[in-house]
């Protein structure tokens, strides 16, 4: 029985304390349900670092990043302590490097090494933006940068890379898709000794957002301000435990509960974002509402779907449950933040989600089901380990399928496939940390080689003509 021994109120004008239940709920979310701010990401424009000489360009990049992000990590840690909220990652996103390479020329690896040096100097967890936007074709610098990605990811530790190969407005650039099939394979080959980690730091997008704070796909778009703070929240554990309290509720109750929980989670993200922006003297950009899982027990999106009543993630009903979850997260989160952006929805990375990994191991979750799920959630085929002997044409064809889903549905799709070199179905890759571990999944080996070899562009869909 709970009883109060004493309740003392000092007289005066001090407003009353929040009610005890609210306070305990917040503490429980943080201590037991893994609620955290996943990332504070500083977006930095490198457009003014562009010089005709690559050496000069690199010096300016290093100077600008280390100047603007000098206090990013300490500020993040101070906010984390004062507010009592864990902030897991501090990251940087920069202008797609291909834009700088266009005017400087030279060996793009020098940019990768400069970014790595800058990332280490300021102590961030990841730095994204070794990227190219080629959804309609290759401009100067684009192809050279893309071809350097495997080496860049093998000689750096913190640099992340992304390539946008399609959009609803432009269609899908199939020459780039074909090239990316090859690049993914090479990225895995060059980092074979390190669990093929190169491929885990490379994302292929359709409709890439310019303000996404999440890695590996973060970059600082050309329309963004000089410097900006974007924040990504997390909290699958909180949503799941809220649903545990309504085992008999119908799906309207489920959606309402998710909405209310997403509101609370996002309010915390908004608070941290505005505070970080204020302290760093940088404008606040957006809060990304994504439910991002981690390999930790109790921090899984798959377990939310199972809490809704599925025996295992991947069972029929999974796509419907995910559609409900994704929509309710957005509805709750939008109200809680002044500016929403990035990917904003539910993430379904396989190796980063203990429930997804379990579902793959028990045979309930297949690559085909995951593809269907990507049509209704915020990203695409994410952190999926495929057999090391998967051909580059098949990898390219998987990219094309995902890009088609993104293009037709006006949504972002991001693909992060890791060919496990030297391993087959059922064996495991273990990346450690937030990237997790997972089994190699079965891939349909019927050949799409001729289709991929055609190249060219898939035209934009009719509903891209909205003017």
Partner 1 sequence: MRAVITVVGKDMVGILAAVSAACAEQNVNVAEVSQSILQDMFCMIMLVDVSACKMPLAAFSDYMRELGQKRALQIHVMHEDVFEAMHSI
Q: Are 101 and 144 in contact (CB under 8 A)?
A: yes
Exactly one of 145, 268, 301, 357 binds partner 1 (CB under 8 A); that residue is: 268
> Which one-letter DSSP state was computed for residue 170?
T
Q: Is the C-alpha dihedral spanning 98, 100, 101, 107 positive or negative?
A: negative
Least distance (Å) from partner 1 to the CB of residue 29?
9
Q: Does 147 bind partner 1 (CB under 8 A)?
A: no
Stretch binding partner 1 (CB under 8 A), from 5-13, 109-117, 290-298, 424-432: 5-13
Distance, in Å, from the CA atom of 449 to the CA atom of 454, rounded to the nearest integer, reads 9
Output 8 or 465, the one with its CB closest to partner 1.
8
Q: Does 242 bind partner 1 (CB under 8 A)?
A: no
Q: Are 396 and 161 in contact (CB under 8 A)?
A: no
Distance, in Å, from the CA atom of 386 to the CA atom of 395, rounded to the nearest integer, reads 9
Least distance (Å) from partner 1 to the CB of residue 74?
10
Least distance (Å) from partner 1 to the CB of residue 332?
12
Q: How far is CA 131 from CA 32, 148, 240, 253, in A?
A: 37, 11, 35, 42
Exactly one of 42, 44, 85, 93 binds partner 1 (CB under 8 A); that residue is: 85
Binding mask 11-40 for partner 1 (x = CB under 8 A): ---x-xxx-x-xxxxxx---x---------
Least distance (Å) from partner 1 to the CB of residue 34?
15
Least distance (Å) from partner 1 to the CB of residue 240?
18
> How many other CB atoms are found less than 10 A from the CB of residue 438?
26
Stretch binding partner 1 (CB under 8 A), from 76-84, 148-156, 354-362, 458-466: 76-84
Stretch binding partner 1 (CB under 8 A), from 78-86, 119-127, 167-175, 246-254: 78-86
| 178 contact partners, CB below 8 Å, separation of at least 6 | 393, 396, 452, 453, 455
Beta bridge partners of 232: 39, 288
Output 25 or 401, the one with its CB closest to partner 1.
25
Exactly one of 216, 271, 313, 417 binds partner 1 (CB under 8 A); that residue is: 271
How do 227-233 and 284-288 pair as beta strands?
A: parallel
Exactly one of 56, 67, 71, 81 binds partner 1 (CB under 8 A); that residue is: 81
Exactly one of 32, 48, 84, 433 binds partner 1 (CB under 8 A); that residue is: 84
> How many other CB atoms are found less than 10 A from the CB of residue 27?
12
How many residues lie near partner 1 (CB under 8 A)?
34
Output 29 or 397, the one with its CB closest to partner 1.
29
* 3-state secondary structure at position 245: coil
Q: Are 425 and 440 in contact (CB under 8 A)?
A: yes
Stretch binding partner 1 (CB under 8 A), from 6-14, 102-110, 250-258, 397-405: 6-14
Alpha-carbon Rg for the chain, nearest whole angstrom, is 22
Tokens 């934009």, located at residue: 460
Q: Does 245 bind partner 1 (CB under 8 A)?
A: no
> How many other CB atoms are found less than 10 A from the CB of residue 431?
20
Q: Does 78 bind partner 1 (CB under 8 A)?
A: yes
Stretch binding partner 1 (CB under 8 A), from 10-18, 149-157, 158-166, 383-391: 10-18
H helices of 17-122, in order, are 20-32, 54-68, 72-83, 97-104, 109-122
Beta bridge partners of 167: 171
Least distance (Å) from partner 1 to the CB of residue 134?
41
Distance, in Å, from the CA atom of 176 to the CA atom of 415, rounded to the nearest integer, reads 14
Exactly one of 13, 82, 248, 250 binds partner 1 (CB under 8 A); that residue is: 82
Q: Residues interacting with partner 1, by CB under 8 A? A: 1-10, 14, 16-18, 20, 22-27, 31, 77-78, 81-85, 264, 267-268, 270-271
């Amino acid at each position: 029985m709970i009883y109060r021994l004493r309740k003392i109120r000092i007289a005066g004008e001090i407003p009353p304390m929040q009610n005890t239940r609210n306070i305990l709920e917040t503490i429980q979310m943080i201590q037991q349900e893994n609620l955290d701010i996943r990332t504070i990401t500083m977006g930095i424009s490198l457009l003014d670092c562009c010089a005709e000489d690559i050496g000069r360009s690199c010096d300016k990049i290093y100077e600008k990043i280390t100047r603007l992000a000098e206090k990013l990590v300490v500020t993040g840690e101070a906010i984390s302590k004062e507010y009592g909220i864990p902030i897991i990652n501090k990251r940087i996103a920069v202008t797609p490097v291909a834009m700088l390479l266009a005017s400087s020329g030279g060996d793009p690896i020098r940019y990768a090494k400069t970014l790595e040096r800058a990332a280490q100097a300021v102590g961030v967890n990841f730095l994204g933006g070794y990227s190219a936007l080629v959804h309609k074709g290759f401009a100067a610098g684009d192809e050279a940068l893309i071809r350097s990605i495997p080496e860049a990811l093998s000689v750096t530790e913190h640099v992340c890379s992304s390539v946008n190969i399609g959009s609803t407005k432009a269609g899908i650039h199939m020459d780039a898709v074909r090239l990316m099939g090859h690049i993914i394979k090479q990225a895995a080959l060059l980092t074979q000794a390190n669990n093929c980690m190169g491929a885990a730091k490379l994302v292929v997008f359709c409709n890439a957002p310019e303000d996404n704070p999440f890695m590996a796909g973060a970059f600082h778009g050309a329309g963004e301000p000089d410097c900006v703070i974007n924040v990504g929240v997390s909290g699958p554990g909180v949503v799941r435990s809220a649903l545990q309290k309504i085992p008999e509720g119908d799906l309207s109750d489920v959606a309402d509960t998710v909405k209310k929980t997403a509101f609370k989670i996002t309010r915390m993200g908004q608070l941290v974002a505005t505070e970080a922006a204020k302290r760093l003297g940088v404008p606040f950009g957006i809060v990304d509402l994504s439910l991002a899982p981690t390999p930790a027990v109790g921090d899984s999106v798959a377990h939310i779907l199972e809490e809704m009543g599925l025996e295992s993630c991947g069972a029929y009903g999974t796509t419907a449950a995910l559609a409900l979850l994704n929509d309710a997260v957005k509805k709750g989160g939008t109200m809680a933040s002044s500016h929403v952006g990035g990917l904003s929805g539910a993430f379904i990375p396989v190796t980063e989600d203990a429930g997804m990994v379990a579902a793959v191991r028990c045979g309930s979750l297949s690559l085909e089901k995951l593809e269907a799920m990507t049509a209704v959630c915020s990203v695409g085929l994410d952190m999926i380990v495929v057999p090391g002997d998967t051909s580059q044409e098949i990898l390219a064809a998987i990219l094309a399928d995902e890009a088609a889903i993104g293009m037709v549905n006006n949504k972002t799709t991001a693909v992060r496939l890791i060919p496990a070199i030297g391993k087959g179905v059922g064996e495991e890759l273990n990346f450690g940390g937030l990237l997790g571990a997972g089994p190699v999944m079965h891939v349909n080996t019927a050949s799409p080689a001729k289709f991929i070899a055609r190249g060219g562009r898939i035209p934009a869909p009719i509903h891209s003509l909205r003017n």
